[in-house]
Copies of this chain bind each other. A is one copy, B any other.
């Protein structure tokens, strides 16, 4: 229903504009905030002007919604896949950390928008994103509880949130090359998350 048409040819190829808008919007929203970017500006940045956006999205809110819902889905899908594919809790946590760093380094703008402008979402999309995020946190929390015997659920959630904070700090400091940043974040996150006995 939210898609235009689930025809056999998929929606690949007939919407480069749509994707371009999402990409550029992510960048602009990250820099100046959702409310700080007008549709005119966004359009201009895409080479078209103003109201032409409404040929691709029903509203400005919808751009934000699609952006945030889709990244929440990707984070959750790949995260839980990697966790399930792991042999033990320790390697599952390593895999989750690895995946989250990959994503955060590769999509800095989305990370910023996600936790800055989450509250600007229309009610239904906000609900959906919250559900997906909660599920993602649960994936982490489950593995943490298996790695630390006796860890309570709420504390595991808090640990996961803290880890996200650490890993998502990446857009705020682009001072060292991605490879080194990746390595640094992995080290710090694993030190913070794994029991001392393991490390």
**Which of chain B's residues have a CB closer than 8 A to the CB of A180?**
155
Distance between A183 CB and nearest chain B CB, rounded to angstroms: 10
Question: A166 touching B175 by the CB < 8 A rule?
Answer: no
Question: A175 touching B159 by the CB < 8 A rule?
Answer: no
Question: B165 touching A184 by the CB < 8 A rule?
Answer: no
Q: Is A120 an interface residue (CB 8 A)?
A: yes
Q: Is chain A's interface secondary structure helix, strand, loop, or mixed overall? A: helix
**Which of chain B's residues have a CB closer than 8 A to the CB of A188?**
159, 162-163, 192-193
Contact of A169 among B164, B172, B175 (CB under 8 A): B164
**Which of chain B's residues have a CB closer than 8 A to the CB of A184?**
155, 158-159, 162
Distance between A12 CB and nearest chain B CB, rounded to angstroms: 35
Contact of A199 among B154, B166, B168, B196 (CB under 8 A): B196
16 A-B contacts, Cβ less than 8 Å apart?
Answer: A32-B119, A33-B33, A33-B35, A36-B120, A154-B175, A154-B176, A155-B176, A157-B175, A162-B166, A162-B185, A163-B166, A165-B165, A165-B172, A166-B166, A188-B192, A191-B192
Q: Is A31 an interface residue (CB 8 A)?
A: yes
Question: B181 touching A166 by the CB < 8 A rule?
Answer: no
Please report A residues at the B interface, Cβ cutoff 8 Å: 31-33, 35-36, 115-117, 119-120, 154-155, 157-159, 161-169, 172-173, 175-176, 180-181, 184-185, 188-189, 191-193, 196, 199
Question: A173 touching B157 by the CB < 8 A rule?
Answer: yes
When chains A and B are docked, how far (Å) is the Cα of A31 from the Cα of B120?
10
Question: B175 touching A119 by the CB < 8 A rule?
Answer: no
Are A119 and B176 CB-contacts (below 8 A) given A169-B165, A189-B192, A192-B166? no
Distance between A115 CB and nearest chain B CB, rounded to angstroms: 8
Distance between A98 CB and nearest chain B CB, rounded to angstroms: 16
Distance between A104 CB and nearest chain B CB, rounded to angstroms: 10
